[in-house]
Amino acid sequence: MTAPRPTVAAKAALVAGGSFTSSIALILLLAAVWGLGDRMVLWALVALSTLTAAAMLIAAGRLRP
């Protein structure tokens, strides 16, 4: 397996970061629109962060030379 080119890895990191930021913004927007409580928003952010961390860990393991 060959190592990915730096530009490909950089683009993938930017896409992942952008989607993560968009997901957080969507959760906060829906919380404001629906009037969700702080606890529900906190659990949604924890779930999103956990899923993202797991995906990043898997990706890092696969990209490792």
2, part of any domain: no
1, part of any domain: no
50, part of any domain: yes
* pLDDT of 59 over the 70 cut: yes
* Greater pLDDT, 33 or 13: 33
> Tokens for 4?
């990915």
The confidence score (pLDDT) of residue 15 equals 73
Question: Which pTM was predicted?
Answer: 0.63
33, part of any domain: yes
d(CA 49, CA 57): 12
The confidence score (pLDDT) of residue 7 equals 74
**Residue 23 domain boundaries:** 7-63
d(CA 9, CA 16): 10
